[in-house]
Amino acid sequence: MFIKICGITNVEDALLATALGADALGFILCPSRRQVSEKVVRDIVGQLPPDVMTVGVFRDVGRARVVETVNTIGLRAAQLHGGESPATTRWVADRVPVTIRALPAGSPDLLRFDEFGADLLLLDGPVPGSGEVFEAWSHEASVLPVAAEPLLRWCKARAAAGETWSGLHAMGTRQGEYVAGVLDEVRRSGPLTGGQLSDPRPRQGTWWGGRSDGRRALDWLFRIGEVGITRNERFEKRFLPLADLVPAEVLEQPTPTVEEAQRDLLEAAARAHGVGTAADLADYFRMRTTEARPRLAELVEADRLVEVRVEGWRDPAYRHPAVSLPRAVRTRALLSPFDPVVWFRPRAERLFGFRYRIEIYVPAPKREYGYYVLPFLLGDALVGRVDLKSDRATGRLLARGVFAEDGVDREHVAAELSAELDRLAAFLSLGEVAVGRRGNLASALRAARR
């Protein structure tokens, strides 16, 4: 594991980070709440152990200035966090020891990363270099840059008016005194879990029906934006005031109109998709398609999107002007059922001919592929799927069912999937991958692992 800590501003933090095992330290040399001067960086670097990678973080700075700064201070790497082109990145890479290119999750540039000529890729949040994110209800419960908070206020207002799950709305409207008490306790004592409330009011039942009133009250307050969420080491929700997560300068920004917010969100969705129909882009932030269509027309009129036709698609589509077609797509990944590539099922079928359904809630005898099945992305195609289970008791990653899509080269897919399973097992700290006998790719995968 390689650990890099970014945003260092003083020598005490730098020495503490290295003592705790950090391999690299990042110094932000562009506008940011954690920006530091070149003089301070030079002083800190002079006191660090020689084996620590020191990284200057730049965003849309002239390429010559990047190289000059890195070499003058004596940094070991340049991290480019803005809209630097492949040509600019390659120019910098030829003149500094190590170049790191930061790209936001969902960026089409990820598919052509090789063109940048960088040594390392840093996968960042949707707004590169913001350094601050928070959990919010958008695509689903999602991690977003704090700068996006004003764009979601209309969603919170609609939830407060009843456009959410009926049980949550009932909690908020029928037990207002109790909910107000929960909010007051979070403000006084947060962060805390539902079980740590002084009056959690447990309920009888199973799964969702058995959630305590305290948990339901906290979920309601999160849904309407009164509280935020952090996660502990077991990924449990811990609730705290939203102001403890989102800076005051963001919370104090004027609230955009619904139309303004929807336009900005749809443009962000188009940037993440590259190209998509109105339904595709609307689903990304859970808008109604009927509301999205006029906003998309306005974005086209303002030259923020381009309306296009895609061969084989019935509906018109929209392309972000900054999207470019990669020369080749070189990628390999097992996708979560909630990955945006497959989350909106009609788009996955339209793009890849890949019909995908989560079968967790399907009785075992009626499942087609398995309980928790991950699609396998190879290049620009979904070529298979795997029913996976992490068996902690035996330290094994179980591939209980392995399936190839029609027309793929099964030996090639099996070899690539074998490597990806090894990578996933290592990530999960499991020592072995065990392949079952179910599925039309199982025998080829077992052969690839001999």
Residue 188: CB atoms within 10 Å: 9
What is the pLDDT confidence band of residue 247, given thresholds at 50, 70 and 90? confident
Task: Tell me how many helices (H) and strands (E) the chain has.
Answer: 16, 18
Q: What positions carry a catalytic annotation?
A: 6, 124
350-371 pLDDT tens trace: 999 999 998 988 898 899 999 9
Residue 396's φ and ψ, nearest 5 degrees, are -125, 145
26-64 pLDDT tens trace: 999 987 767 888 999 999 998 888 888 999 999 888 899
The least confident of 45-49, 142-146, 295-299 is 142-146
What is the pLDDT confidence band of residue 204, given thresholds at 50, 70 and 90? low
User: What residue type is assigned to position 276 of the chain?
Assistant: G
pTM over 0.85: no
Residue 363's φ and ψ, nearest 5 degrees, are -55, 140
Overall fold of domain 258-319: Arc Repressor Mutant, subunit A (1.10.10)
What is the pLDDT confidence band of residue 233, given thresholds at 50, 70 and 90? low
d(CA 366, CA 385): 17
Contacts of 13 (CB under 8 A, 6+ apart): none
In the chain, pLDDT over 90 holds for what percent of residues? 57
Q: What are the sequence ranges of the domains in the chain? A: 4-124, 133-251, 258-319, 332-448
* pLDDT top residue among 272 and 435: 435
Dihedral (Cα; 36, 37, 39, 42), 10-degree rounding: 40
60-76 pLDDT tens trace: 888 999 999 999 999 99
Which numeric CATH code is attached to 4-124? 3.20.20.70
Per-residue pLDDT at 129: 43
Closest C-alpha to 375, from 404, 411, 397, 350: 404
**pLDDT above 50: residue 127:** no
- Does the CA dihedral 113-114-116-117 come out positive or negative? positive
**pLDDT above 90: residue 113:** no
158-184 pLDDT tens trace: 999 999 888 889 989 999 999 999 999
What mean pLDDT is predicted for residues 431-447?
94
